[in-house]
Amino acid sequence: MSGSPPTIRDLATKECFICQQDNGPVESWVHPCKCTLVAHQACLLRMIDALPKTTRAACPQCAHKYRIIKIKSLPLELLRLGNSLCNICGTMFSMATICGVIVLTGGSLVSVLRSYGMYSTRLLFGDTIFDTLLTSDTSSWPWSTWLAVPLIAMRCLLSGEPFRFRHLFAYVLVLPSQPPRIVRDRLMRESSIRLNLFSLPYDSLSFRWPPTRLQFGCCIYIAHFVYDYLRDHTIWACLLPIRPYLVSNIMFFIRWRRNRAQRIENGGDPNAPQEVDMPPLDNGGAPPEVPRFAPEVGERPPLWMARRVLQSQSSPILEAIFLPAIAKGMGYLLHELAQHYFPLRRVLGIRPTVATVGLSLPFVNKIMWDETLNNTYYWTKFSAWVWSETDPIWLRNTIGLGIFVLLKDALHQLHLWLRKNEIESRHVKDRSFEGLDPRTLDLIHPVS
């Protein structure tokens, strides 16, 4: 005892200045400062977590700054650095894009959104489907498409999570059910020089692979709900549990400091025990009621917290701008991989596309011309034929985007798991009672 100052292990009795209890093994206690106050590690960490991030934790009696020790992880530090760089680059790129759009276009926001919608549709579905069912001539679009394209583009750009399957479903709905009139007129004029192309009857409802447009839309719609459900529950499993008694512990500590200050003003002993009920710990029964002024802390659903974690680590505008290009790039990689792996060719439905999209019409009568030009049934079947007979670029782009989203969310989940491990490894550094008179301490082996 004479060679080194006493430590927390030498105290005969210990009382946590936060919870006012004296139970627990020696390993659960800590003396974090230069005065006589001691506390449970768990209580002290909860108190520190409740403080504002800009406030450094300190002893309420001697004002000594607490020192937190935690196990650092190199992968987590690299992920933090990468996340910070991505956020900075994303913010700079987003600002540059917004400024560039404002300066260069100088026009209406609707035209910018419509251009983005056209760009996304062309990359996702390929040139053949875009030039046949939509075209770059917006004056030939039906009014529903003319309104839907900028609205869907704005929804994707302003979404907190652009990499979601519901946006692909929206782009499927953008495509008209039949070509615009300018395309129909051109196809009919060129029908006399093209043979063995589209002609009735054509069954557009039978099940086939690659799927029809209706089947593809249903698959995307179902995949959206299934993946979001599995992703949110998996991410929540990696997060730290929300302890319902955390706020009550904090409020107890505030009341303890207020009562201590009142005793000092009244000339009483500031270190005398207080008759204040402490909320039970982990194994102490039911959690206490959350204070009335902050009920939302314990009532936020876990899935809401999981979604907020995802949104806090993303740059939505940057992701929305690059979403079509990423889908096309992943689709190209899958196409190149399928050249060496035949089963993948079957899954992606890769096949030679028709050389030319056209009609097979054995007539020259003007009356039949006008009837066919305005025949909704005929052109709806033609659109289904174009969808099924051309190379399904949209299928491999969608699968590629799904793989990218899966890898992206897996990286986020790894980041959360590493952060959880770091938080769980934290503990407050224990200090000896150096600088204090050992005779003033209640030691197991008192010093005479």
In the chain, pLDDT over 90 holds for what percent of residues?
A: 2
Give the pLDDT of residue 244: 40
33 close to 18: Cβ distance less than 8 angstroms = no
Q: CA-to-CA distance for 324 and 331, rounded, in angstroms? A: 10
| pLDDT computed for residue 296 by the predictor | 40
* Count helices and strands in the chain by DSSP H and E runs: 16, 4
- Residue 365, pLDDT score: 56
Q: Is residue 3 part of a domain?
A: no
Asked, for residue 303, whether it belongs to a domain, the answer is: no
* Span 3-33, pLDDT tens digits: 678 888 888 888 888 888 888 787 788 999 8
The tens digit of pLDDT for each residue in 38-55 reads 998 888 888 888 888 777
Average pLDDT over residues 260-266: 70
Do the beta carbons of residue 132 and residue 357 sit within 8 Å?
Answer: yes
pLDDT class of 353 with cuts at 50, 70, 90: low
Task: Report the share of the chain in percent with pLDDT over 70.
Answer: 71
pLDDT bucket at 289, cuts 50 / 70 / 90: very low
Same domain, 233 and 249: no
Instruction: State yes or no: pLDDT of 133 exceeds 70.
Output: yes
pLDDT at residue 126 is higher than 90: no
Strands, DSSP E only, in 294-362?
Answer: none
Does the pLDDT at position 319 exceed 80? no
Question: Which tokens go with 223?
Answer: 């995949």
Q: How many CA atoms lie within 13 A of 70 on its CB side?
A: 16
Structure tokens at 252: 């107890």
Alpha-carbon distance 283 to 299, whole Å? 21
Q: Of 305, 302, 287, whose CA–CA distance to 248 is shortest?
A: 287
Best mean pLDDT range from 67-81, 344-358, 372-386: 67-81
- Average pLDDT of the residues in 86-101: 84
Task: Give the mean pLDDT of 281-297.
Answer: 42
Angle between helix 213-238 and helix 393-424 axes, rounded to 10 deg: 10
> Does 110 share its domain with 170?
yes
Query: Is the pLDDT score of 83 beyond 80?
Result: yes
* Side-chain-side CA neighbours of residue 252 (13 Å): 25
User: Residue with structure tokens 């929804």?
Assistant: 155
Whether residues 32 and 49 share a domain: the answer is yes
Interval 406-429: pLDDT, tens = 898 888 888 877 877 787 788 888
pLDDT band at 334 (very low <50, low <70, confident <90, very high): very high
In a domain, residue 447? The reply is: no
**Are both 236 and 358 inside the same structural domain?**
yes
Across the chain, what does the average pLDDT equal?
75
**Whole-prediction pTM:** 0.63
The mean pLDDT of 254-261, rounded to a whole number, is 67
Asked whether residue 123 is assigned to any structural domain, the reply reads: yes
Please check whether residues 377 and 364 belong to one and the same domain. Answer: yes
User: Do 41 and 15 have their domain in common?
Assistant: yes
In a domain, 157, yes or no: yes
Give the pLDDT mean for 111-120. Answer: 86
Distance of CA 129 to the CA centre of its chain: 31
Same domain, yes or no, for 90 and 231?
Answer: yes
Of the ranges 159-168, 190-199, 293-302, which one carries the lowest mean pLDDT score? 293-302
Nearest CA to 262 out of 248, 250, 249, 276 is that of 276
What per-residue confidence (pLDDT) applies to 339? 87
- pLDDT, residue 337, reads 92
Same domain, 194 and 230: yes
- SS3 of residue 29 by DSSP: strand
333 pLDDT exceeds 90? yes
* pLDDT at res. 421: 78
Segments forming the whole domain that contains residue 283: 8-70+244-295+426-440
Question: Do 354 and 409 have their domain in common?
Answer: yes
**Please, which pLDDT band fits residue 178 given cuts at 50, 70 and 90?**
confident
What mean pLDDT is predicted for residues 386-404?
A: 87
| Per-residue confidence (pLDDT) for residue 363, from 0 to 100 | 54
Domains contained in the chain, number? 2
319 and 209 in a common domain? yes
Instruction: Name every residue whose Cβ is closer than 8 Å to that of residue 227 and which is 6 or more positions away in sequence.
Output: 165, 402, 405
As a whole number, mean pLDDT of residues 233-245 equals 54
- Specify the pLDDT at position 330: 92
pLDDT at position 357 is 63
Task: Tell me how far CA of residue 71 lies from CA of 77, 124, 414, 421, 426, in angstroms.
Answer: 11, 45, 17, 9, 7
pLDDT of res. 21: 85
The residue ranking higher by pLDDT, 308 or 289, is 308
Please report the pLDDT score of residue 242 as a whole number. Answer: 39
Q: Which of 1-5, 201-205, 404-408, 430-434 has the lowest mean pLDDT?
A: 201-205
For residue 296, the tally of other CB atoms under 10 A from its CB is 7
Is residue 301 assigned to a domain?
Answer: no
Q: Are residues 65 and 155 in the same domain?
A: no
CB 357 within 8 A of CB 384: no
287 has pLDDT over 50: no
State yes or no: pLDDT of 291 exceeds 50: no
Is residue 1 one of the residues assigned to a domain? no
Residue 444 CB partners (closer than 8 Å, separation 6+)? 10, 11, 12
Is residue 66 domain-shared with residue 200, that is, in the same domain? Answer: no
The answer to whether position 409 is within a domain reads: yes
Say how far apart CA 340 and CA 118 lie, in whole Å: 33
User: Is residue 31 a contact partner of residue 5, using CB atoms and an 8 Å limit?
Assistant: no
